Amino acid sequence: MTASPDATAVAERTALAWQRTIIGVLAIGALLVRWSVVERFPLWPGVLLTGAAALGSLVLVRRRYQRVRDTVLTGQTPLSRYFVPAATAFMIALIAGVGAAILVEYSRL
């Protein structure tokens, strides 16, 4: 099987999809921080969510771009068995943790 002449385009689309997802999480984190300020709740849940998304954008997007590009250039499929499910599980756990923290704060009112 020959490598696709479009290998960098495939990697670029993947990186852009990851960036859009991270931008969405950053926006939610920023809204959570703003809401915390208005409602006088602790800022740490929003800061944690925003920080995790920022770290993800710095580390994961570049790594995923390079991996997809290299895989497509060798003529293989860039499917990942562990990375996408692990990132999804991490984000679900992070959002559940932030939600639990908000519920704890509401119960203290």
Domain ranges of the chain: 7-107
pLDDT computed for residue 79 by the predictor: 66
Distances (CA, A) of 108 to 15, 46, 65, 101: 42, 18, 44, 11
* Statement: residue 104 has pLDDT above 80: yes
pLDDT computed for residue 109 by the predictor: 67
The pTM (predicted TM-score) of the whole model is 0.58
Interval 53-65: pLDDT, tens: 888 777 877 887 8
Helix axes 44-73 and 83-107, enclosed angle (nearest 10): 170
Q: Where are the alpha helices (DSSP H) in the chain?
A: 7-39, 44-73, 83-107
- The average pLDDT across 35-56 equals 82
Are 10 and 4 within 8 A, CB to CB? Answer: yes
